[in-house]
C-alpha cells in the first residue's frame, strides 16, 4: 500500500508515493529526493541541523512525519538561493564567517531565515541568541552566526522600510 503525498518543495509541486507512513521528512528529503542539505545530526530534534521551513515555520525535519505534510510548502537550503544569487542570509553567513566545518550551516541558515521572516530577530543579540538556541554549532562559530543574523535582519528591516 502506498500513500500519496503532494508537496510544494522549493517552489515546485511534487507528488510522492510513500510506502511507509513512518518515514520522517528528513529521511524523505535525504534518502528519497536527494536533497542532502538538511543534516541528520542527533535525530532527536536537539541540534537543529535538520531545520527546514514548512509553510513558513521552522521545524526539525527529523521529528516530522512526511505523511503529515500533505499539501504543505517546504523550503530547504537547496531552494533558498535564486539561481546564482545567494539569499541575503547566505551572503551574510559568508561575510561574517558564520561557519567553520559547515555541518550545521544549512540548519543555522534556515533557522535564521525563519526567525527573520517571523519578525522575531530584530537586532538585539540576546533576542537572536534565544531565537537561534535550537541550533547547535559544535565548532563554536556562534559569534559569526550572531553577526550574520544581525546583519541580515537589519538589511531586511531596511528593505521593509523602503517598501
- Which residues are CB-contacts of 97 (< 8 A; sequence separation ≥ 6)? 141, 144
The C-alpha cell that represents 81 in the structure block = 538561493
Instruction: Please compute the mean of the pLDDT values over residues 89-94 and round it to a whole number.
Output: 97
pLDDT tens digits along 27-75: 999 999 999 999 999 999 999 999 999 999 999 999 999 999 999 999 9
- Which residues are CB-contacts of 135 (< 8 A; sequence separation ≥ 6)? 47, 48, 49, 51, 104, 107, 108, 111
Q: What is the pLDDT of residue 160?
A: 54
pLDDT tens digits along 97-135: 999 999 999 999 999 999 999 988 877 899 999 999 999
For the entire predicted model, the pTM comes to 0.93
Amino acid at each position: 500500500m502506498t500513500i500519496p503525498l503532494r508537496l510544494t518543495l522549493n517552489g515546485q509541486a511534487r507528488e510522492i508515493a510513500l510506502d511507509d507512513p513512518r518515514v520522517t521528512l528528513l529521511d524523505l528529503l535525504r534518502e528519497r529526493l536527494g536533497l542532502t542539505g538538511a543534516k541528520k545530526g542527533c535525530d532527536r530534534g536537539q541540534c537543529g541541523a535538520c531545520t527546514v521551513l514548512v509553510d513558513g515555520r521552522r521545524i526539525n525535519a527529523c521529528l516530522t512525519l512526511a505523511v503529515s505534510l500533505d499539501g504543505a510548502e517546504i523550503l530547504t537550503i537547496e531552494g533558498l538561493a535564486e539561481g546564482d544569487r545567494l539569499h541575503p542570509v547566505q551572503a551574510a553567513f559568508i561575510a561574517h564567517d558564520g561557519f567553520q566545518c559547515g555541518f550545521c550551516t544549512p540548519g543555522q541558515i534556515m533557522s535564521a531565515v525563519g526567525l527573520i521572516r517571523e519578525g522575531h530577530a530584530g537586532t538585539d543579540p540576546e533576542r537572536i541568541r534565544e531565537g537561534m538556541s535550537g541550533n547547535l554549532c559544535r565548532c563554536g562559530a556562534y559569534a559569526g552566526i550572531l553577526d550574520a543574523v544581525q546583519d541580515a535582519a537589519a538589511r531586511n528591516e531596511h528593505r521593509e522600510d523602503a517598501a
